[in-house]
Structure 1
Amino acid sequence: MDKAERILLVFCRLLKHEWLNKTSLALEFNTTERTIERDMQSIRAVLSEARSPAVLLWDRQKGSYILSHYQHRPLQSMEALTILKILLGSRALRLDEMEGLVQALCGLLSPRDETEFSQLLEEELDGYHEPAHHQAIIKTQWDLQQCIRDHRKIRLHYSRGDDMRTSHVVFPLSVVVSDGYFYLIAVVEGTAHTGPAFFRLDRIRSFDVIHGGSHLPEEDAFSLRRLRSTTPFMFGGKPVRLTLRCKNSAVEALFDKIPAHTVLSWEEDTVLVEVTVSISGFFRWLLMQGDAIVIIGPEPLRQAFIQTLQRIQNAYTDIKEDCPK
């Protein structure tokens, strides 16, 4: 009996949920225990390659192997509804793509729950408004993810918000979702810009894989966890440290938006907080907070935000002057 036949017979017995003793197998197949161990490693490799939920376990006390079958329970209706709310609330996908995802979600339910969920689904989808860009996203993000996995450098053909077409050679690092948009986080080759750049997927017209391109240098090693905690806004730029005074009513919003914060002091109605952010994205978010969050320092950045407020005031003043009486 050759190796392939032996492994196949062993695997068939494992599928029957038999305990297989290593010493007994070695005697049965007239081979060594070391050979049986190698056979079991081959079976583990096949299970891993096939992404099987089953796991080949070794019991030291029994000196035996057994195949553990993990039974996946059906998704419950309340869990599916929660996922549905998150998906629809993101408004990050075109209607046809969203419908496809939701139908796949239905397939994970038990037949009884699927009937109930289908009624809820129709009501939820009825009020869905797809993003204004009307671009397909799912295939693009998957293709980019393959480039990230394989450490491929790519040439990105991009259309900015002002419709200006640009081209960049980038090292793709990650694809994330923020504020209703998918973003590619990447390091742009040949630029003095520090830190990663952010590209909206709906504005990527196409990209080409650059074969044989160099990999991202080790000193530029990317940590998505660190980036998410220090760069909650999808804008590039050098991170800067700010001290903020925040009213109690806005503390939760600030802490949720910028998890990597440091509380300097708590007062009766306010809290002093230190954060590290990219300025352009942070200023846009800060405008939504009114007077609930105020920049205390450093002074040059406080003045920069005051100038932003003055430009906004001037824009509204100009409109008032242009209005017909």
Structure 2
Amino acid sequence: MKPTLRIVHLFCRLLQRERLNRENVIEEYKINSRTFDRDISDIRYVLSELHECDELIYDRNDKCYYLSRGGRHDFTGRDVMALLKVLLGSRALCRDEMMGMVDAIRALLPYEDRKALYYAIEDELKHYIEPIHGKSILELQWKINKSIINRQKIRIVYTKTGGKRIKRDVLPVNIVFAEFYFYLVAFRDESEYEYPAFFRLDRIESVKVLGKVGENPLYTNFRYSDMRPAVQFMYAGELFEIKLRCRKSALEAVLDRVPKYEIIREKEDSVLVTVTAFGEGFIRWAAMQGENVEILAPQELRERMGQWFAKAAEVYRQDVK
């Protein structure tokens, strides 16, 4: 192997977080110790010329050279395994995009850790189930994010749940992930809604940038982090203070789901709680809890919940045809 090619090869291995053992490298490339020292010196020179904060370090314990991160935190196998377990479990991306992202994240690990990581996630990789829509969304997400950064109004062509296609001029303010899907958080243009609407990214057929919005209080006053604890299933609408009776066995699930809460009183087997949430999404979630959660107030939501259960019960009273 030519000297220049060998140095590039060694440098690439160091960039991939591999630790280079002196004796192993000398044997592998059939060079002498003086040549190895010259190669290491050349790599250090390249790093200095690039003004990188990375530094080539020699570990006397295992007699290996490795590339430091200049005080930055290196991803460990433990970090990457946890990250990939969450990512694969989210089922947020189509198969091609998910596999590409897994490969890119695995590449952040030192060379010797990648094989061990593969065995930890092998089953999830082989049996990964992509979302039903099967669409690639990373490019669209990045395009919309640029519009958010540049404070640009956009026009989207969007397919609603029933299949109806609509056009909306919106002011995008955020992109979030919840319940298997990415959502665009955006205010409808010329509307007086206090809160934004949510649009699933996989249902956005096209995006057209309409131009800069200019100074707009939405960008300075709105914080999705203030709204998020009250959102269930990505439904906004009207914000309510809701009084609940829930079984103690279900309390943890309630408080994790609705972090804006206050415990009023505890009884032997139940707890009275007030939570702040958007009505439509909360009803959908509370209905899934069955008898574990009862809405006590406001009366409007209690009646809507009763109607929901009545309709569900009517379905099961009918004979199967």
Please give the TM-score of this superposition, normalised by the length of structure 2.
Answer: 0.75
Distance 1:156 1:113, change over 3 A: same
Equivalent residue, structure 1, for 2:140: 140
The equivalent of 1:258 in structure 2 is: 258
Asked if 2 retains the 8 angstrom alpha-carbon contact of 1:91 and 1:131, the reply is yes
Are 2:77 and 2:117, in contact at CA under 8 Å, matched by a contact in 1? yes
Alignment match, 1:127:
127
Equivalents in 2 of 1:184, 1:250: separation in Å? 31
Do the aligned partners of residues 97 and 308 (structure 1) sit closer, same or farther apart at CA in structure 2, a change above 3 Å counting?
same
Which residue in 2 is equivalent to 1:209?
209
RMSD value, Cα: 2.2
1:130 CA drift (Å): 0.2
Contact 1:156 1:169 in 2 (8 A): yes
Structure 1 residue aligned with 2:151: 151
Q: Which residue of 2 aligns with 1:70?
A: 70
C-alpha displacement of 1:109: 0.7
Shift of 1:317: 2.8
Q: 1:268 to 1:193 in 2, by over 3 A?
A: same
1:217-236 correspondence to structure 2 within 5 Å: 217=217, 221-236=221-236
Partner in structure 1 of residue 104 of structure 2: 104
How far, CA to CA, are the matches of 2:209 and 2:185 in structure 1? Answer: 16
**Alignment CA distance shift 1:114-1:73 (3 Å):** farther
Shift of 1:114: 1.1
Residues in 2 aligned to 1:113 and 1:230: alpha-carbon distance in whole angstroms: 41
More divergent stretch after superposition (179-188 vs 217-226)? 217-226
Residue 39 of structure 1 corresponds to none
Partners in 2 of 1:164 and 1:125 — Cα distance?
Answer: 35
- Other structure's SS at 1:184 match: strand
- Output aligned runs, 1:1-325, within 5 Å: 70-217=70-217, 221-318=221-318, 320=319, 323-324=320-321
Amino acid corresponding to residue 111 of structure 2 in structure 1:
P
SS in 2 for 1:211: strand
Q: 1:166 to 1:142 in 2, by over 3 A?
A: same
Residue 303 (structure 1) shift: 1.1
The answer to whether the 8 Å contact 2:287/2:305 transfers is no
Q: Partners in 1 of 2:149 and 2:232 — Cα distance?
A: 23
Aligned-pair identity in percent equals 34
Q: 2:283·2:301 contact (CA, 8 Å) conserved in 1?
A: no
- How many angstroms apart in 2 are the aligned matches of 1:204 and 1:214? 25
Work out whether residues 186 and 198 of structure 1, in 8 Å CA contact, stay in contact via their aligned partners in 2.
yes
TM-score normalised by L of structure 1: 0.74
Query: Partners of 2:132 and 2:284 in 1: how far apart?
Result: 20
CA contact (8 A) 1:194 1:238 kept: no
Letter in 2 for 1:200: R
Paired residue secondary structure (1:140): helix
Q: Contact 1:153/1:215 (CA < 8 Å) preserved in 2?
A: no
4+ residue runs of structure 1 moved beyond 4 angstroms? none
CA distance in 2, matches of 1:171, 1:218: 9
After TM superposition, give the deviation of residue 313 of structure 1 in Å.
1.6
Asked if 2 retains the 8 angstrom alpha-carbon contact of 1:93 and 1:136, the reply is yes
**161 and 220 in structure 1: CA distance in 2 versus 1, 3 angstrom threshold:** farther
The CA distance in 2 between the partners of 1:219 and 1:111, in whole Å, is 43
Cα gap change, 1:238/1:219 in structure 2, threshold over 3 Å: closer, same or farther?
A: farther
The runs of 5 or more residues in structure 2 that have no matched partner are 1-49, 55-68
Contact kept in structure 1, 2:150 and 2:212, CA below 8 Å: no
Equivalent position SS for 2:291: coil
